[in-house]
Structure 1
Amino acid sequence: MPLPCLTNIFPLYWVTFFSISSTGQSGLSLQLKKFLTFVKIEHTLFSLPLIYSGAFLAAKDPPSLTQLTLILTAAIGARTAALALNRIIDREIDRRNPRTSVRELPSGRMNVREASSVLAIGIAIYLISAASLSVFCLILSPLPLVIFTVYPYMKRFTVLAHFGAGLGLAMAPLGGWFAIQQSTENLLPGALLSLFTLFWVTGFDIIYSTLDELFDREQNLFSFVSRYGRTTALRISAFLHAAAFIVLALLFAVYIKAAAALPFLLLSGFLLYLEHKKAEDVELAFFKINAALGFVILGMVVAGVYFP
């Protein structure tokens, strides 16, 4: 189904989000910039390598260009929906937090109607991509959306909210796996990659939460940092990252085995270690190192599958 047909599914008002204002092309550029900033499109760098890692791990032969393209559009749609849900649900909390008060919704640069339009577009692209891959993928597609919806509420009542973030991104390698395999048979390699992702993302979400330690405590929001202190929280994060590396090493030892993949495994361990050495520099630890680590995992899988 071509994307213009989305107007038959969702209200026409979303089109105005991209409309050209009286200032012409500059107005369109501002709207596009606002949209890209709102959905943090660059954060797809975290999930996309993991999705493709799951796909290549599942594939006996290289995936087709059509499959790779549909996986890409599904990833972009799901990521857009996840960010939009998070921003809409957390908008009042973001308004009270000095660090996040400049975001589009709390600052007033975007209203809830516009944000809901972005959410609708993201869900539509995701579901259409899943359906185009297979009926099996379409049947499973609501599960990540449920996780994306529940996760933002978790910080209101449990420190396990960090695991909600991890579980959301852990769907990425499974999504890639199911896009190729289209069944639950022989799922263990994909499940191990997903478990690695759960531990890894939960660990770095704990590091990221150190930015809001005082605010979370004042607002009675739940995180390991606000409840147990920074030192204990970072120890828990380190434990989770050690567990993540053990799971990744198990995946390598049992299923990948290729010598060409070993340097990528060792590099992933170094990056996880470096993430904790640089934990005070959240910009480096959270964004740059994690983005690099995702591509290292993809490199390990590709090297293992195609250079045995």
Structure 2
Amino acid sequence: MPDAVPDHFLLRLAPARLRPFVQLARLDRPIGWQLLLLPCWEASALASASLGRPLDLLHLALFFIGAVSMRGAGSTYNDIVDRDIDAKVERTRGRPLASGRASLRAAIVFLVLQCLVGLCVLLSFNGFTIALALASPLIVLIYPFAKRFTSWPQAVLGLAFAYGALLGWTAQAGALAAPAVLLYLAAIFWTIGYDTIYALQDKRDDAIAGVRSTALLFGARVRLAVGALYAASVIAAELAVLTAHLGVAAQIGVLAYAAHLCWQVWRTGPGVEPATALMLFRSNWNAGLLLFAGLAIEALLAA
């Protein structure tokens, strides 16, 4: 696939008959589960720092397993729904279902297995977190269809991908609070911004296929729009830190996160090359890690 990590070790090690499933789960494109994981880790660190507890390493490990499995499940479901559209888009026509390298029945079985792994992870948390998490699949089910009726499918993705910001907090606190909600908002704006950059790769093909996106909606003003979204994310993250009554380390994390997002905006534009758009999109792993690092250090100092 064009946006896969070149010569990814899983594709090299997997038997030929399993490679389509590695691609269905996007395991050769780890940025997906990384971006799903970061709000979970950030919220867990935020809760630890606010409650004066050390980082919960078990929770961080569980969120990692859950992010990989549920990102894979979401991607498999997305490919099932979009298999006809994918066949019309240059970047996606080589996907396993669109190209016929995997059957629909096998993809459905694989989807169920990944969901079962995610369910096992979820059942490791407290009752409130379990109940809260059960609402998120509704958003995931809607997402593949959003591009058909709205120019804001990135916002639907944001609601889903940012959801871990709520779960990371409640897994420790057992209830929602203002810092978690504000971090959720920060992650939503961040997701819309970086997925708009990602969608710049497909503007021509999306227009031909009748697929909508914020990249097409913003057009020549895409740099301004992404800048506004990223600014809203930074403001919400700062408010989350302030309402959690955190200190200097967390503030440095927010500043480093803001600086990285500013660099992305500077490199973004309506004429950006697909390779540059993909590079900027992938760089959000580093942006999110900077924020997480600040919150994690704050938790270590507060424990």
CA distance in 2 between counterparts of 1:58 and 1:183 reads 11
Where 2:148 maps in the other structure, the secondary structure is: coil
In the alignment, which residue of structure 1 is the partner of 2:6?
Answer: none
SS at match of 2:175: coil
Equivalent runs, 1:265-276 vs 2, <5 Å: 265-276=254-265
Query: Which amino acid is the alignment partner of residue 52 of structure 1?
Result: W
Residue 92 of structure 1, CA deviation: 0.9
Structure with the larger RCO, 1 or 2 (CA within 8 Å, 6+ apart): 2
Which residue of 2 is the match for residue 222 of structure 1? 212
The Cα of 1:124 is off from its aligned counterpart by: 0.9
Say if 1:197 and 1:244, in contact at 8 Å, map to a contact too: yes
Deviation at 1:146, TM superposition (A): 1.0
Distance in 2 between residues matched to 1:69 and 1:111, nearest whole Å: 32
Aligned to 1:20: none
Partner of 2:26: 40
Offset of residue 261 of structure 1: 2.8
Question: Structure 2 regions of 5+ residues with no counterpart?
Answer: 1-11
**For 2:78, which of 59, 62, 86 is the aligned residue?**
86
Change (3 A) 1:264 1:58: closer
Q: For the residues of structure 1 that align with 2:246 and 2:129, how far apart are their CA atoms?
A: 29
2:251 is aligned, of 262, 269, 293, to: 262
Larger radius of gyration: 1
> What is the TM-score when the length of structure 1 is the normalising length?
0.83
Q: What root-mean-square deviation, in Å, do the aligned CA atoms of Structure 1 and Structure 2 show?
A: 2.1
Distance 2:114 2:104 in 1: 15
Q: Quick check: 1:109 aligned with 2:101?
A: yes
User: Is 2:57 the partner of 1:52?
Assistant: no
* Cα offsets for 1:137-189 (capped at 9, x unmatched): 332232121111101101101112110111111102112112222223xx111
Change (3 A) 1:27 1:36: closer
CA contact (8 A) 1:173 1:193 kept: yes
SS of corresponding position for 1:250: helix
Q: Deviations over 1:97-136 (max 9, x none)?
A: 1111011111112121222122111211111211222333
The one-letter amino acid paired with 1:30 is: A
Distance 1:293 1:228 in 2: 23
1:278 to 267, 279, 282: 267
Letter in 1 for 2:104: V
Gaps of 5+ in 1: 1-25
Correspondence for 2:133 = 141
> Normalised by the size of structure 2, how large is the TM-score?
0.85
Question: Partners of 1:182 and 1:85 in 2: how far apart?
Answer: 30
Letter in 2 for 1:237: V
